[in-house]
Amino acid sequence: MTMRKAVDVSVDAMIEDLRTLVEIESPSRNPDALTASAQAVAAVIESRLGGQAVLVESEAGPHVHWAAGGDPKVLILGHHDTVFPLGTLERRPFMVEDGHATGPGVFDMLGGLVQAVHGLATLEDRSGVEILVTADEEVGSRSSRALIEERAIACGAVLVVEGAADGGALKTGRKGCGTFHVSIAGRASHAGLEPAAGVNALIEASHQVLDIAALGRPGIGTTVTPTVASAGTLDNVVPAEATVIVDVRVESAGEKERIESAFAALAPHLDEAKIAVRGAVSRPPMPESASAGLFAVAKRLLPGLEGKAVGGGSDGNFTAALGVPTLDGLGAVGGGAHADHEYLVVDAMAERATLVAGLVDAMQNAQEDENMRVL
């Protein structure tokens, strides 16, 4: 495969753009911060690719959409929100040292955005390419899902620039994932004078935690993990309320249905206790079949490249569930997503930018490329 390139990628320029984005903190659910971040993302795109990047307003904050023009052929998908609260940058400033770039969001996923933009900038022809950078991926993509699905269907193929899997592997499959909130209502009473007059929501929650954890089937990839619990008000009051939050991951649509039905069927153990459940497996599984054709082309471009199915979800779950060919993990090589030791490997930036460019070039010429006909 011969790629039509206009210029080579510049690592120094990528580092400067990455610094710009990292130093504008962009925590989810902070519209003011996300507005500043979206403006910066749009400015980077426009400065490197030309054209106009449009801010799409939403209750979560602005999403950024850029289109090169021509018949849509490929959607580059990412997000600019991060999990780190305002003030993290003061404690962990952007730095490049010993071959690693560090700072809040470098790996998840500002580095991937920068690499994709600079990769596209090397192409003579960008027709049919769209970029969508959302503001709420880290908190469920509720405001962006419809737009993601609309543009994915229009383009017909999706490259997700989330961080790579371990060792730089692409993410060829993802589990479906969701969060459930289980609320327990009991009845308060004096813990010393008449404890039996109450209905202890904490005890009921303990029963529910055990029932919920038993729903997991790790052997087939289903994990059901209670992660947060709260109950009670004072040490001498029988608790009247409790809440349990549960993380769920599944590999198949059948397990999604089983888990959702099981949560809906949860029943109290204590007389007069009441249970309410909300939540769902909101990101459907991304089967490896969704990435097979694109991954074959990626391996031609970069021999030795590996692919892995992973437990975490992304917006690629949504696009794959629509039957749109989707390849994930095309972003930064590094690690420590959501953690203080988050880092990006600088030496891998040029290679990953070139990989994105090569995939885009291949999709633009799919009629001429036998391997692309599987898409």
d(CA 40, CA 47): 10
108 classed as catalytic? no
Provide CATH 3.40.630.10 ranges for the chain: 11-174+286-374
d(CA 9, CA 366): 24
Q: Which of 137, 138, 260, 315 is catalytic?
A: 137
> Which numeric CATH code is attached to 11-174+286-374?
3.40.630.10
Provide CATH 3.30.70.360 ranges for the chain: 176-283
| CATH C-level class of 176-283 | alpha beta
Q: Mind listing the pLDDT tens digit of every residue in the chain (375 residues)?
A: 556 666 689 999 999 999 999 999 999 999 999 999 999 999 999 999 999 999 999 999 999 999 999 999 999 999 999 999 999 999 999 999 999 999 999 999 999 999 999 999 999 999 999 999 999 999 999 999 999 999 999 999 999 999 999 999 999 999 999 999 999 999 999 999 999 999 999 999 999 999 999 999 999 999 999 999 999 999 999 999 999 999 999 999 899 999 999 999 999 999 999 999 999 999 999 999 999 999 999 999 999 999 999 998 999 999 999 999 999 999 999 999 999 999 999 999 999 999 999 999 999 987 544 444 445
Cα 116 vs. chain centroid, distance in angstroms?
A: 16
d(CA 180, CA 260): 9
Among the listed residues 134, 171, 217, the one whose alpha carbon sits nearest the alpha carbon of residue 326: 171
pTM equals 0.90
Q: Do the Cβ atoms of 116 and 52 come closer than 8 Å? A: no
137 classed as catalytic? yes
Q: Which of 17, 25, 81, 138 is catalytic?
A: 81
What are the C-alpha distances in Å from 73 to residues 67, 193, 323, 329? 11, 71, 15, 19
Phi, psi of 57 (to 5 degrees): -70, 145
Beta strand extents in the chain (DSSP E only): 53-56, 63-67, 74-79, 95-97, 100-102, 129-134, 158-160, 170-174, 176-185, 223-231, 241-250, 274-283, 307-310, 326-327, 334-335, 343-345
